[in-house]
Amino acid sequence: MQFRFDSFAEFLSMAGHGPYVWACYFAAVLALGYIILAPISRRKSIQTQLLRQEKIAEQQLAMQNNNSNA
Amino acid sequence: MAWQWFHRLGSPKWFYEKTTAWMPWLLSISLLIIISVSIWALGFAPMDAKQGNSYRIMYLHVPTSIVAMAAYYVMAIAGGIGIIWKMKLSNMVMKVAAPIGAVLTALALFTGAVWGKPTWGTYWVWDARITSVLILLFLYLGVIALQEAFSDQEMADKASAILSLVGTVNIPIIYKSVDWWFTLHQPASIKMTSSSIASEMLYPLLAMIIGFYLFFTWALLSATRSEILQREIKTKWVKQALLQKA
Amino acid sequence: MANSKDQQALAISLDNIACQRDERQLFSGLSIEINAGDVLQLLGPNGAGKTTLLRCLVSLSQPAVGEIRFNGQALHQNLYAYRSQLLYLGHLAGIKSTLSPAENLRWYAGLEGDDVNLEERIETALKEVGLYGYEDQSCFNLSAGQQRRVALARLYLSKARIWVLDEPLTAIDKAGIAKLERRFAEHSASGGIVILSTHQDLKLDTLKQVDLQDYLPTPDMLMGGL
Amino acid sequence: MSSSLHSSNPTVGKAFWATLKRDLKIAIRHRGELANPLIFFLLVITMVPLGVSPSPKTLAMLAPGMLWVVALLATLLSLDALFRSDFDDGTLEQLLLSPQSSYINVMAKVFVHWLTTGVPLTLVAPLLGVMMSLPEAGYIPLLLSLLLGTGSLSLIGAIGAALTVSLRKGGLLLSLIVMPLYVPVLIFGASGVRAAIEGFAYNTQLAVLGSFLALAIIAAPLAIAGALKMSVNN
């Protein structure tokens, strides 16, 4: 097993095919990154949604308590 | 006994708790494989005599195409189970499989097109495989659009399950037809699969396919877990699971 | 064939039914036995779930919890036998406005596979609902009440023994209601079943009433006991 | 098909005929709408020479594919109405409640759709073939392939129509989900006509279209019935 390119510049250009190869791998990073991040960000938004609901519920509970005290 | 297991599998809560431990492992192993094979493919794989360096794209294109195809079947089977046994979890798997499959299909299409430029001198050739992948993308987009169109989740699940099952029956027919159409219109001048692939190149390709399958499994589980949280948001265990960590 | 069917028992039983709509529990714990000769009136304010229950009863929807049985077997195992006996009048009249009343009724008779003396029977059925002379007009020339009557003419035409009727008395005048009451009594006397929702007071001996408000889900079930 | 079932259960055949007659009657009362897909077919074919080139040679080359693609689009346009009015006036749920398997009634409805769109499209196609300078050898295969192919188009399209009937704005979505499924029919239909023009045998293509139709007759009504049940269940 050996590195097939003599220099880093050659590695980047890949004898003219560089742009195509790198574009593909870059696209793969984007696609996989999206697939990884999408459920995580969704989870976050569900969490904030839940927190907001809890806050509203707490507030309503507090108001009810105030009313009954008065 | 078997049925008990089946019903437990259908319980979102059980599924969520069971898979928690697997998630980091699945992701790290799959990424490890994908990244190391990518490095090998980019820097260490020998150059192809005919196609030069552009064939390094194959290590992305072939696995994504295969997994994108498999994802459709996973989606359809999940939909079928959801219809027949009315299993909630199965419907969720079906719903989340569609966008993942669509992204992978789009990636397969993109890499195929970019690979075509240095090989055939043009980005788009109406070759049998790329045309089939394009139609697969349309099938995915149809399922996603249908899922989005319904406001009632139960109806959305049923509708997209029926559509994906119909698509499953159709896919082999579409592929065969497109193949047949291609041989009719294009004499075998453009042929991109090298007939014999050296084992030195084959094993990394196989590893990459496994890596992508593992990654897809992780993605499917992860998205399903989010979907579970959304749909079961009113239950106590979801509140606990989410608020403890907040 | 009709005779042998008349002798068969009819029994519909609802076992611990709960229905929901848009994630909201409408009612729960509903258990009723309905036997041949019963007329069952569903009561409850708008939105109580009368239509939803009736749709479950004709197997257009499924209840969220519980089981509906026909002659001891779950509906989906016995669907052909059940539907052969079923006449459903929904919220929508099920009348094609392009066609004439007679043509509409002919289609329904065709679905039942019943064409003995058909033209004669259609004529009598239309006469009974006061649409004599209208049989060959397009239904879009008829008023809302008249269109409703075309649908009700099925009660005089069909041989089905289980009638499930969703608000059959809306847009019907007093005389019409009295006539329908008589028809219900006849049907019940001949061993049929009528299940209907209406806000009208019915004067029938065999009348049973179920108020869906008696089956409101308990608060803890609303909170996420599902 | 209906005759074999007829013998086992006398009411099945009657239900089929009742729905068939009813839908044909409705179609005839709305004759104006029947012409719409045909006019669309004619209009689009007229656009081709205007947009591409009036040279008979070019048109002849485009003709098989163009005629097929436009026939396909015309069918798609007519699909949205297939179950719409039945859904709106409640006869769809009555149809699903009939004791016979929904297969029969669905089959009757789709058959009428084919009779009122597929068959007229097939019949005017030769006329449009003349406008497209279709070579003489292409007419018979065009007729045969359209006759067989439009049957599959109606059946497959009805699945999409059944899935989207409860959506108010289902029209565009319907095309989106149905068109990919039309690919095989289009490929074999157009290529049959092309093969004939080029002097080859076209019986393979017709045989394949026939088998598509057979498969669609067996499987599509099940999917349609399932989709309709989903659509009325709300």
Parent domain of D222: 2-232
pLDDT digits (tens, 9 = 90+) for B142-166: 999 999 999 889 899 999 999 999 9
Parent domain of B172: 57-187+198-239
CATH (domain of C20): 3.40.50.300
* B22-26, B28-32, C170-174: the lowest-pLDDT one: C170-174
pLDDT digits (tens, 9 = 90+) for C126-170: 998 888 888 788 888 888 888 889 999 999 999 899 999 999 888
Q: Does residue C91 lie within any of the structural domains?
A: no
Distance from CA of B135 to the nearest CA of D (A): 6
Please answer yes or no on whether B43 and A27 come within 8 Å at the CB atom.
no
pLDDT digits (tens, 9 = 90+) for B187-228: 444 444 554 566 777 888 899 999 999 999 999 999 999 999
Average pLDDT over residues D81-105: 91
Q: At residue C8, what is the residue type?
A: Q
Q: How many domains does chain D have?
A: 1
- Together in a domain, C171 and C145: no
Listed in sequence order, the residues at least 6 apart from D166 whose beta carbon sits closer than 8 Å to its beta carbon are: B155, D87, D231, D232, D234
Please answer yes or no on whether C94 and D89 come within 8 Å at the CB atom.
yes
Q: Does residue C71 lie within any of the structural domains?
A: yes
Please answer yes or no on whether D164 and B146 come within 8 Å at the CB atom.
yes
Please give the Cα distance from B172 to B168 (Å, whole number). 8
Q: How many domains does chain C have?
A: 2
Q: Does residue B28 lie within any of the structural domains?
A: no
Please give the Cα distance from B3 to B15 (Å, whole number). 16
Q: At residue B200, what is the residue type?
A: E
pLDDT digits (tens, 9 = 90+) for B67-94: 999 999 999 999 999 988 888 899 999 9
The confidence band for B186, taking pLDDT boundaries of 50, 70 and 90, is low
- ipTM exceeding the 0.85 mark: yes
Q: Does residue C180 lie within any of the structural domains?
A: yes
pLDDT of residue D4: 39
CB D178 within 8 A of CB D185: no
Parent domain of C108: 99-160
Q: Does residue B20 lie within any of the structural domains?
A: no
pLDDT digits (tens, 9 = 90+) for C197-216: 988 888 887 788 888 888 88
What stretch of H or E contains C107? helix C101-112
Average pLDDT over residues D8-27: 84
Q: How many domains does chain B have?
A: 1
Residue of B nearest to D190 (CA): B181
Using the predicted structure, report yes or no on whether residue D5 has a pLDDT greater than 50: no
C65-70 vs C73-74, strand pairing mode = antiparallel
Q: Which of C143, C160, C177 is the last residue of a domain?
A: C160
- Together in a domain, C111 and C122: yes
The confidence band for D9, taking pLDDT boundaries of 50, 70 and 90, is low
Q: Which of C139, C160, C181 is the last residue of a domain?
A: C160
Please answer yes or no on whether B152 and C22 come within 8 Å at the CB atom.
yes
- Together in a domain, C5 and C79: yes
- Together in a domain, C77 and C169: yes
**By the CB < 8 Å criterion, does A70 face chain B?**
no
Neighbours of C, requiring at least 3 CB pairs below 8 Å, are B, D
Please give the Cα distance from D63 to A57 (Å, whole number). 67
pLDDT of residue C200: 83
Q: Distance from CA of residue D71 to its chain's centroid?
A: 9
- Chain B residues 149-178 with CB within 8 Å of chain C: 152
Q: Distance from CA of residue D56 to its chain's centroid?
A: 29
The confidence band for D187, taking pLDDT boundaries of 50, 70 and 90, is very high
Q: Does residue B109 lie within any of the structural domains?
A: yes
pLDDT of residue B245: 58
Using the predicted structure, report yes or no on whether residue B113 has a pLDDT greater than 50: yes
Q: Does residue C172 lie within any of the structural domains?
A: yes
**By the CB < 8 Å criterion, does B165 face chain D?**
yes
- Point out the residue among B145, B152, B163 whose CB comes nearest to the CB of D234: B152
**Which residues from C are below 8 Å from D2, CB to CB?**
none
